[in-house]
Structure 1
Amino acid sequence: MFVRPLLRFWPDLRSRIGVYVLVLVLTLLATGIQLIIPVITGYIIDGPIAHKDLSALWLPVFGVLIIGLAEAVGMWARRMIVAPVVSTWEVTWRSRLFDRLQYTSVAIHDSWESGQLLSRAVNDLSQLRRFFAFGLPFLVSTPIVLAVGTVMLVIMQPVFGLIMIIMAVPAIIAVAVFEKHYRDTSRRSQDTMGEVTTDVEESIQGIRILKSFGRSPWAAERFSEISARLKSLEIRKAKLDSWLWSVLLLLPTLAQAAIVAVGTWGVIEGWTTIGTVVAAVTISMVLRMPIEMLGFLLADALMALTAAGRYWEVIDIRHDITDADGGVDDAPEVGRYSGKLRFDDVDFHFADTERLTLQGLDLTIEPGQTLALVGATGSGKTTLASLVPRLQDVTAGRVSIDDVDIRDMPVNELRHLVSVSFEDPILFSTSVAENVEMGAPGASEDEIWEALEIAAAKDFVSRLPDGLDTQVGEQGLSLSGGQRQRLALARAVIGRPRVLVLDDPLSAVDVDTEDRVQRALREILPDSTTLIIAHRPSTAALADVVAVLDEGRISALGTHEELLESSKLYRELMGASAKAEAHAHPGTQSSAQTTTSTQSQEGGRS
């Protein structure tokens, strides 16, 4: 059933169905009451005018005035009542869609263009609001008005009704042909609008790259190509509209001409009156507007149907990252864990390929221990890090904290225990304080400053115009890359997580700042288990243990100094400085072992 996407909104409509039925009645009243005026006009012609009785004219004139007033009041009341109802529905649907996106896995988000999601959340829901406010009430009332008008013509003179019925046959055929072609074109047009939104968003976010490489003409050409496709689809919609409108405009005109011709003949032959003919012609003129509107209403309904289908495509996305019972508890109880993080025979591949990114991976990070993960580009480091907070789920094997499979934990309990900071920091267009507090809702100002100090961000934040209240702008682009990374790190550490996952979070800062941050983490968060993706020798050297990831497996494990001695791949990954260090300190292995032993006795963190 092709209208099913619209019918699925029934549970929301049902809660206000009484009010909405009133809207439908008022719409029918405002459009249908005009049919009485032609009857009154015919009465005036055949009555007071034919009999030259002026005194009998006042009552029908007063009736016309009352009808006009009732029509105006009905239209005003309809608008006043329907606006808050449909606006409430729009907010409900938009909130539902936004909520759905919040619980949808990262993998699914990655498979969608952001512009397609934006166009559904903005354009499609606005289309649905307009349809339920205007399109649907008139789409329901228009056929009723046409049917009532035709019945009135049959009662006045059966031949006049027959003319309108004959006119309806080609109109129905035209509507059926139009619906088939317009629905497909409307879907393609709205999908292309999503592409336009994506392209604009990418161009705005990547404006520095486009300008730096002088690629603005290329971006403009690409945008023009997408816009040209959208233009061709909109032109096709306009052409389809024009054909339907032409048919719907022509048929009532032919019907009016036929009624005038037949009616004139009837008056001459004596089987009808002038008043009846005038009334019939006037009714056909009143019906002309609903018939003409039918083309617009049908196009609006088809666009709303497409918008509804696109909306439900998002709502129907299956939640694949959930609690064990299939739901997601927003406020679960958070248990006490020491933070032992373990990967047992983990396999992982992305949904669009069978090639394993991680295979047979085994790794254990003891409570309070810092492990640096190194590997070549594409070896699966970021993928492995994303498994810990369940941004992705393992294909096989398991990830556990204190020997509890993280899939058996409530998702939000896990994300209270695990905090993440990525190489590409995402900040929100709000204040510094609110961005940092996101990692621990309700944190005090002192706690925010402490987190900023750990992340070596306290000095630059204190120099900002409004300090903690400084607005960072969209995605924090008013700050430098290093400043954004440090704020993102402060957000990760403010909640004192049991497990801290750092995906090269300080790549945009200097080595000295990185060293200060690493030492602050050791001193202030000594009990946090830390998995850090490292590209610098300095980062790896500060870790308790270093793991080398190669082709989805851990190929080497040891301290920085041990791996410099024993792993050729590690030396290659760490670069020339690491090789020079290995040759300059051939006896570092024993000292490293001593250091590791001392750290173990002190609880894993120095």
Structure 2
Amino acid sequence: MLWKLLVRYLQPQRRLLIAVVVFQLAQSIASLYLPTLNADIIDLGVATGDTGYILRVGSLMLLITLLQIGCAVTAVYFGAKAAMGMGRDLRGAIFTRVGGFSEQEVTRFGPASLITRSTNDVQQVQQLVLMSATLMVAAPMLSIGGVVMAVRQDAQLSWLIAVSVPALLLGVGVIISRMVPLFRLMQLRIDAVNRVLREQLAGIRVVRAFVREDLETERFAGANADVTDTALRAGRLMALAFPVVMLVLNVSSVAVIWFGSFRIEDGSMQVGTLVAFLSYLLQILMSVMMATFMAVMIPRAAVSADRIGEVLETESSVRPPVNPVVFTADTSHGTARGELEMRDVGFAYPGAERPVLSGISFTAAAGKTTAVIGSTGSGKTTLVNLMPRLFDATSGSVMIGGVDVRELHPDLLWGHIGLVPQRPYLFSGTVRSNLLYGKPDATEEELWHALATAQAEDFVREMEGGLDAPVSQGGTNVSGGQRQRLAIARALVKRPELYIFDDSFSSLDTATDARLRQALHRDTAGATLVIIAQRVSSIMDADQILVLDGGRIVGRGTHSELLESSETYREIVSSQLAAEEAA
């Protein structure tokens, strides 16, 4: 997967990579030429006392060194630019893919893991590209060129290269093979740290309310200790690699000097040649060392690439149609665009023994309010998720405007729906930026009208800045009721044909709830309203009430009709009335 990922996302950076290769080749040639010039200075300048020769060749060496430095810096610059560009494109690809996931895929991966994959894992692959451009490209040039130049200096000592290089590869290779599983384990444990931290930050109120700070501290300490332990085990192996490399380098250097001294003594080799051969041997071994250290990075980057590839290759279970249908008189067959119909709909989660919903059939007509009520676990939230196609029904059909939602392009479908989720979410920014989320070109008058309908105008006017008042991430700087009303206003600004309120009035007091429902009835005339509720008082005026129990509709009708015909509804009503009377 690593190679596939690199080929695909480095393709746009190919010009930069070509520049890296050219400049690394130039600096490698310069590096390989310097020991030969040094040998000439020793043999033809120092040995003969020719100061002029020493100055001339020394000046040439200085110029070549400056050229080498310039080429190396330029190569690193282009390499860094290519690596950063690839990282940007890769993060963008992950974000785009995750943005197309249904709830099912997001739940399978988990938010913490998706965040790690788009940050830490991308960084590992990006770092590999950067270090490859800095070290790996030059390593084969220096090692192959070093062998050629060393043999030119003295072929009889070349057997030392044949011994030293395999010894270095063997020693470092054994260490690397033990590091691969540790790197894989480390990424999993980083996921665990992110998951624990995310849970604690999101649930900080619950943690404090139940005085569980000590327990959560222990949980984080455990996850943190696991990461540290894995990192230390990998670090110890990495620390062992350096002494192994230095041992091979030092033994090889001693061997060259030892055997070279005998050749100098019998006159078959000059001192400058020995120094040059030693320099080339060290260049070769250093190149092999750089390549092996890069090999240490490859397993970790490969693990990260596998995790990234898993996300990029995962297809959403909710796929856009090949030939999407648009709303026309022919496709709608006279049905209003906002009309919602479910025909014998069923849904089961993958691997589940029993379906969550089965045999769901009803029509929510335009201009009417359809309410859904039921006990916890009756399938209300799953039913809501099927309407905007966050999930696909496993059986039956969900129709909007007379068209199966699976035949509509998601953008067109979602453009006709205004969803207020059970847990309203506000984005960091301002009140204005949140309200404009569904309709960027809405006027200020439209924003205030939506706020007035949602019973949010008064508190927004009291906020410092009004529409430009700051909103923190998740809307944590406003109360739960205010957050719900702002989310309702956001949906109203959009002016869709179908409104879905998923228990969106639960944080409102009874008086505000009543005023809001009255305003909604006036402001959304002609649109289809679907209200999911726990509180009977929120749905008593609905034109149609569906009673869910065990994933099936066990009652339907108006409030008065259900009081006579549905025992389940009567139980819900009586339990809430008893609670209100007791209060």
1:432 partnered with 2:431: yes
Asked if 1:115 corresponds to 2:112, the answer is yes
SS in 1 for 2:372: strand
Q: Output the CA distance in 1 between the equivalents of 2:464 and 2:29.
A: 64
Shift of 1:168: 1.4
Pairwise CA distance, 1:548? 0.5
Is 1:204 equivalent to 2:205 in the alignment? no
- Cα distance in 2, alignment partners of residues 271 and 580 from structure 1: 106
1:533 match:
532
Q: Output one character per residue of 1:27-84: Cα deviation in whole Å (capped at 9) or x when no partner.
A: 3433552232221221112111222222221221012101210122112212333333
Name the counterpart of 2:373. 374
Contact between 2:28 and 2:141, CA under 8 Å: does it hold in 1?
Answer: no
Matches within 5 A, 1:262-273: 262-273=259-270
Please name the residue that 2:482 is paired with.
483
Correspondences of 1:101-500 after superposition (within 5 Å): 101-325=98-322, 337-500=336-499
Measure, in 2, the Cα distance between the counterparts of 1:575 and 1:284: 90
Residue in 2 aligned with 1:589? none
Does the 8 A contact of 2:76 with 2:134 survive in 1?
A: no
Q: Which whole-Å CA distance do the structure 2 matches of 1:460 and 1:185 have between them?
A: 54
- Residue deviations 1:288-325 (CA, integer Å, cap 9, x gap): 54344334322222222222222111111102212221
**Whole-Å Cα distance in 2 between the matches of residues 263 and 448 of structure 1?**
87
Matched, 1:100 2:97: yes
**Paired AA for residue 23 in structure 2:** L
- 1:43: which partner in 2? 40
Residues 517-596 of structure 1 mapped to structure 2, 5 A cutoff: 517-578=516-577
The superposition leaves residues 232-278 of structure 1 with CA deviations (integer Å, 9 ceiling, x where unpaired) of 21112112212332222211211111100000111112221112112
Helix, strand or coil for the counterpart of 1:556? strand
User: Aligned partners of 2:570, 2:294: CA distance in 1, in Å?
Assistant: 70
Take 2:156 and 2:100, find their aligned partners in 1: how far apart are those partners? 63
Distance, in Å, in 2 between the alignment partners of 1:31 and 1:573 is 81
Please give the alpha-carbon distance, in whole angstroms, between the structure 2 residues aligned to 1:426 and 1:88: 32
How far is the alpha carbon of 1:481 from its aligned partner? 0.4
Against the structure 1 CA distance between its residues 172 and 22, is the aligned structure 2 distance closer, same or farther, given a 3 Å change threshold?
same
- Give the alignment's Cα RMSD to 1 decimal: 2.1
Q: CA deviation at 1:335?
A: 5.2
2:62 partner letter: L
Q: Distance in 1 between matches of 2:12 and 2:536?
A: 63
Query: Identity percentage over the alignment?
Result: 30
Equivalent position amino acid for 1:350 in 2: Y
Q: Which amino acid aligns with 1:34?
A: S
Distance 1:401 1:285 in 2: 73
Q: Secondary structure at the match of 1:508?
A: coil
Deviation at 1:6, TM superposition (A): 2.8
Report the CA distance shift for 1:229/1:250 in structure 2 as closer, same or farther (over 3 A). Answer: same
Measure how far apart 1:441 and its partner are.
Answer: 2.5
Distance 1:550 1:265, change over 3 A: same
Could you tell me how far 1:136 is from its partner in structure 2?
A: 4.2
Q: Partners of 2:520 and 2:443 in 1: how far apart?
A: 20
* 1:149-170, Cα deviation, whole Å (9 max, x unpaired): 1222122112322101111112
- Secondary structure, aligned partner of 2:470: coil
Identify the residue that residue 79 of structure 1 maps to in structure 2.
76
**TM-score normalised by the chain length of structure 1:** 0.91
Q: Displacement of 1:409 after TM fit?
A: 1.2
Q: Partner letter of residue 422 of structure 1?
A: P
Cα-to-partner distance string for 1:94-149 (whole Å, 9 max, x where unaligned): 11111111111111111222221111111222222222222344213212211211
Q: Could you tell me how far apart the structure 1 residues matched to 2:353 and 2:214 are? A: 39
Conserved? CA contact 1:249–1:292, under 8 Å: no
Which range moves more in the overlay, 390-399 or 534-543?
A: 534-543
Q: Which stretch of the first structure deviates more once superposed, 483-492 or 316-325?
A: 316-325
Q: Deviations over 1:161-181 (max 9, x none)?
A: 210111111222234433433
Residue 235 of structure 1 aligns to a residue whose secondary structure is helix
Contact conserved, 2:172 with 2:245, CA < 8 A, in 1?
no
| Partner AA of 1:393 in structure 2 | D
Instruction: Compute the displacement of 1:403 (Å).
Output: 2.7
C-alpha contact 2:169 2:288 (8 A) present in aligned 1: no
Distance 2:337 2:303 in 1: 52
Q: Distance in 2 between matches of 1:334 and 1:299?
A: 57
- Give yes or no for contact 2:75–2:134 (8 Å, CA) kept in 1: no
Q: Give the Cα–Cα distance (whole angstroms) in 2 for the partners of residues 298 and 257 of structure 1.
A: 27
DSSP 3-state at the match of 1:8: helix
411-420 vs 390-399, greater mean Cα deviation: 411-420
Q: Could you tell me which amino acid in structure 2 is paired with residue 238 of structure 1? A: G
TM-score (norm 2): 0.94
Distance 1:143 1:174, change over 3 A: farther
Unpaired runs of 5+ in structure 2? Answer: 330-335
Distance 1:304 1:189, change over 3 A: same
Cα shift readout 1:456-512 (whole Å, capped 9, x = no counterpart): 111111111111111110111001000101111111222221111111101011011
Q: Which moved more, 1:76-85 or 1:302-311?
A: 76-85
Shift, 1:540, TM fit:
1.9
Query: Does the 8 A contact of 1:338 with 1:498 survive in 2?
Result: yes
